[in-house]
Chains A and B, each alone.
Chain A
Amino acid sequence: MKEKDIKIIEKEMKLANEGLPEMERDLFADDRPSRIEPLNKYLEQFLNWARARSLWILAYGTGCGAIELRPLMTARFDAFRYGIAGRPTPRQANVFIIGGYASLKTIKRIVRSYEQMQGPKYVIALGSCTINGGMYYDSYNTINRIDYYIPVDIYVTGCMPRPESLIAGFNGLKKKIQAGQCDGMNKYADNFDWYKANQKQIIKDWNMPDYNW
């Protein structure tokens, strides 16, 4: 390939960030997310083993389910014994719990937070609302299917699910991670344009870069 062509391809790999005003485009990164392949099978297995035992939750309650997260850390449920701990910044967390219904306003923040997490990252969708809208299925404001906007690894049903079912969900996630099946990050990268189109369809005032690094 000629050098010129490489440049063109590189340029195409960049995001347009059309939602941003001209002045701000320089202030946001415009790289596309890309697939990351595992290095080595055994190394990856070892890492997955560790990842499954060190789950760092992004402390961001998006809906009513956030209430159910609090008891997890108390003496009764003690999620810490599984290595589940809260983390105040998406940069450091690797588990994102969508705590219930996602509205028009919160989906924007969910997408932003999800994109700011550094992979491998996992999403637990909590409650019926995240699956099919739940009791708000006919609302003008509630996202029916969260997996149209970000990839979801585990659903925990119920309205609301109790902390016990959350822990069960965590166990499921752990199994899935250890089996190496949680590949949401790559899924998101592969189907980036589709996800983006879905997001942009409902978020009309898109005032952020196309991918929030």
Chain B
Amino acid sequence: MVNPLYLIIISLMAGFVLPLLDRVNRKLSLATFIGVLLANTVITGFWMHGFIQADLGTLSFSTAGFTAPLSINFQLGILEAFVLLAINLIGLLTGIYLLKKFNESPLAGMILFIMVVMGANGLILTRDLFNAFVFMEILSISTIAIITLKRTNESLSSGFKYMLASGIASIFFLLGVVFIYFFSGSLNLDFININFTDYRLIAVYMVAIALLIELKMFPVNGWALDVYESTDAGVATIISVINSTAIAFMFYKIMPLLPSNFLYIFGIIGALTYLMSNLMGLKQENARRLLGYSSIGQMGLLLASIIFTAGLEPVLRIMIVGGFFLNHLIAKTGLFWISGLIKKEKLKDWRVIRSNKSLMIMFGIFIFALSGFPPFAGFWAKWEFVKSLLAGQNILIIALILLGSLFEVIYMFRWFIQTVKGEYKEDELSIMPSGKVILTTLLGTLGFGLGILIMKNYYGFNFLFTLPILSLLFIYLIDFLPAKIKGIMSLGGLAYYGYYLYTLVQFENPIQILFGVIFLVGSGVNLISTLNRSEISKGFYGLLMMMIFSFGSLLIARSYLEFFLSWELMTIASFLLILRGKNAQKASLMYMIFSIAGAYLMMVGFGFAPELIGSSALITGLTYVQLPLISIILLALGFMIKSGVLGVHVWLPEAHAEAEADVSSFISAILLKAGIWGFLLVAISVVWNAPQFDVYYWMGWLGVFTALVGAFLASFQEDAKRLLAYSSMSQVGYIIAAISMLSHLGWVSAFYLSLNHMMFKSALFIAIAGVYYRTHTRNMYEMGGLIKKMPLSFISVLISIIAVSGVPPLSGFGSKWLMYSSFIERGWYLQAAVLFFASAVSFLYLYRLIHTIFLGQAKYEHKDVKEAPVWFIIPQYIFIGAIMVLSTFPNLLIKPLSAMASQYFNSNIVIDGYNVYSSYGHWNGNLIMLVTMGVFIVPLFFLILFIGKITKVKQFNIVYAAERPESPQTTHVAHNMYAHYRKALGGWGKPRIWDFWHGSAEWAHTMGDFFRRIYSGNGQTYLLHIILFFVVVFFLGV
């Protein structure tokens, strides 16, 4: 084991030698510079290796030949080794990154850089407080000096502000150290063994506050933002990563000295910093400053996690703190580096990144990592952190952190979307130096690999759960192939996967098979429609398969974490799929924000849930646990956000409308069912372990009103896909209400409707996709009369809308019959009436859909429109065929569904031949079909007999008050078709929920803008903040 002193010695020696070498040759000095950093990294690497290989415990190294209290000593444990390795590695990489810069600028830069690294190393290693002070000063002075590497007005003035702040901090630190010495008689952390109570508190308090200032806690961080904004990218990396890490570690070292009430306050300050800096970040337009806000936020999170994980077992603590630390380290370093490459200040100018594919992917990876998505380390850390906080009942902290995290996601993804999708001109192309790009890519890969490592080794996820990620990677590798080949491969893979999953779950629970059919068979048939893609469609199939495999994993998840992991992977995949749409910026952002909010609710909900017993799938496991009420509510809310329940539905129409034509059907028909699946899981846990308060009664109402409002909103749409989206919302409302009934018949109808909805909504969306493919418009009033051009699509839409509307004899009636029977049986009378109203309103939009597109007047510009491509027709007719079969023989479906539901409730429907009896009524689907055919044929025959000579006329041969129609546009009644209804609804027709969310967004931004005004840019104001902070926190603590 190398003595840690060498780290310091090498650096110091380099500091002296470098000027000499530089005289000889700049190359030589650069080589030495890199050599030193490399040596540091190698040494720390060896330590880490050593600690992992053999459990050496904690090593102590003394200096000057004396042992501890008499001399300064260094302590080296696995923790120190880990942190040292991390920062030295980043130091090395950043050094390489800055190489060109150093080559051009004076030698001082290199020396200062080495000093920074040395200071950080020393700070981490030392156990002596005064020595820590010295290292801290070395660190900050050299950091400030290195800021001047870029000599602009901004960087100089920000450096001066930094100077002032760190000067005050060092005064506090020094005073604190001296007082500690005065009270305890020792400067060595290992030998300070008194309690700092009453007046002696001030000593440790001063040290801690100095560290908090250096850690840039809210609100004493204005100077740091200026520094981040103005310095060179590499330097910002150093400040954000190396500097902060070392100081955070120092804080960790003095933590045992601090009394617990102060620790709690510091923890809150950390969480608050996270929240506030992210809130203020919302308003940022400057990329660097945004990264600064994010960095500060992450530091707050790190501080909070260090403090609040104090009681946990070490491995878990490393998982959490280390997870946050590494996540921040890698993501922030990467982002700062990219900012150095881009050289653009404004967020929206980052579009140039699209000229470099790999850099863009890395950008995405860093953003996802920073937002805490799997498989990156931040995800695991956040999950465990929330869980541990819940165990400690720290609800306030969870709220602060999750809210902050939500804000972070908002601005990060807004940035991401702007970058990936914004207007982009080719001439903005800038050439990126390939070396730096490779470096960044390396970093991104490192972060990704780390996440996978944690996933595989710590949690031991099996192949099935990593499959979504692997499939994404695999298909990315073969992305050069034509879309059709990839599509067929995906189909094949999906078929095998489905079969494999079937063998896995076939004996477990039939409900899994039902949802397996919805998720996988539905996806498979929908996938046929994507075969129409003629171009390469880069990235499409990877994301699609990722989403589909995540659906599969949701089914077989055995623990909360497995479920949540799959859920988040599904969110990523679906978000990126939606983002592929042409104008999907706003839609995908909304989807992301709502999904994340839902995911956080679920996270907390799962945190409250008791541990599962055994290792069966959740659907079985959850049956036996008693979920607390709060958990039920949070989980249900989380799932309902995903299925677009009233109040949180605003993302749904946007996402459906703006996604690519063949993606919308996946989202509507299948993705929404994932929410239903989760909702069902929660409901299953309630069946035998009901909470005191009947929360499902109110969820039932929510579902019912979702159905009604969705139907109304759908009726007032001009955009075909938005109409269908709102229709989906309405149908999901039915399903939610039916599940909420917690009765046998209710669940049978929910299952029935879920399957049915998957089929008819897929068919409808694919049909509309076909129409869009031919007409290039989604506005229904721009179409019309397409029945003559696209008869096959018309028939499938016709059958689908009959199925949606619930008109007998098609299968939709079955679901309606089951639904109303169950509602009346359950005693939910008024709910049933509202649903009946909703289903009557649904006729409005269904008629509007079919009429304005297929009937009425054909437009001139659609004269040469052909039938939709065969790839769109095939899946439609597969679904239509299934609908017809299930309509004629409904018992094929009712029987197994009844069996599924009777696992949980006593069955109260009787199936006798083709008759289905409930306690209220009866229904014979087969006979209905026959009678309907009979009564249809009789008048048809009659008509053919009597009609006389028929002339087939054209669209303008209409009675037009003795005139002739002017043009198809003026003759087609389509635009604002239900204006009178809207008028009748009056104030009820206003988009209040939409207004509410817009208002909330506006409010958050205003708040962010309000708070960031404290950063006036004046160094003295920042000083004042520091003094006030010092006083206020002290009195809060006392």
Contact = CB atoms under 8 A, between A and B. Distances in A.
Interface of A: 23-24, 26-29, 31, 34, 36, 60, 89-91, 109-110, 112-113, 116, 207-209, 212-213
A23 B953 contact: no
Contacts of B954: 26-29
A90 B952 CA distance: 17
B959 A90 contact: yes
B959 A27 contact: no
A113 B957 contact: no
22 contacts: A23-B860, A24-B956, A26-B954, A27-B955, A27-B956, A28-B954, A28-B957, A29-B952, A29-B957, A31-B951, A89-B959, A91-B959, A109-B962, A110-B962, A112-B963, A112-B964, A116-B957, A116-B959, A208-B964, A212-B957, A213-B951, A213-B957
Contacts of B951: 29, 31, 213
Nearest to B962: A109
Contacts of A60: 962
The 6 A-B pairs at the shortest CB distance, nearest first, are namely A109-B962, A27-B956, A29-B953, A213-B957, A213-B953, A29-B954
Contacts of B959: 89-91, 116
Contacts of A213: 951, 953, 957
B256 to A, nearest CB: 88
Prevailing SS type, chain B contact patch = loop
Interface in B942-968: 948-949, 951-957, 959, 962-964, 968
Contacts of B949: 34, 36
Nearest to B785: A27
Contact of B956 (A28, A31, A36, A91): A28
Contacts of B23: none
Most chain A Cβ neighbours within 10 Å, of B949, B952, B964: B964
B970 to A, nearest CB: 13
Given A24-B956, A27-B955, A213-B957, A36 B962 contact: no
Interface of B: 860, 863, 948-949, 951-957, 959, 962-964, 968
A36 B957 contact: no
Contacts of A27: 954-956, 968
Contacts of A31: 951
Nearest to A212: B957
A37 B968 CA distance: 36
B965 to A, nearest CB: 8
A18 B55 CA distance: 99
A60 B960 CA distance: 12
A31 B951 CA distance: 8
A212 B963 CA distance: 10
Contacts of B956: 24, 27-28
Q: Binding site of A, secondary structure by majority: helix, strand, loop or mixed?
A: loop
A113 B964 CA distance: 11
Contacts of B955: 27
B962 A113 contact: yes
A7 B957 CA distance: 25
B27 to A, nearest CB: 77
B179 to A, nearest CB: 94
A89 B958 CA distance: 10
Contacts of A112: 962-964
A34 B950 CA distance: 11
Among A27, A31, A34, which residue has the most Cβ atoms of chain B within 10 A?
A: A27
Contacts of B953: 29, 213
A207 B963 CA distance: 11
A161 B621 CA distance: 92
Nearest to A60: B962
A60 B962 CA distance: 9
A50 to B, nearest CB: 13
A31 B954 CA distance: 10
B563 to A, nearest CB: 58
B697 to A, nearest CB: 52
Given A26-B954, A29-B952, A31-B951, 8 more contacts: A28-B954, A28-B956, A36-B948, A36-B949, A60-B962, A89-B959, A91-B959, A110-B962
A139 to B, nearest CB: 22
A34 B963 CA distance: 24
Contacts of A207: 964
A161 to B, nearest CB: 23
A207 B863 CA distance: 21
Contacts of B948: 36
Given A31-B951, A36-B948, A109 B957 contact: no
Nearest to A112: B962
B609 to A, nearest CB: 65
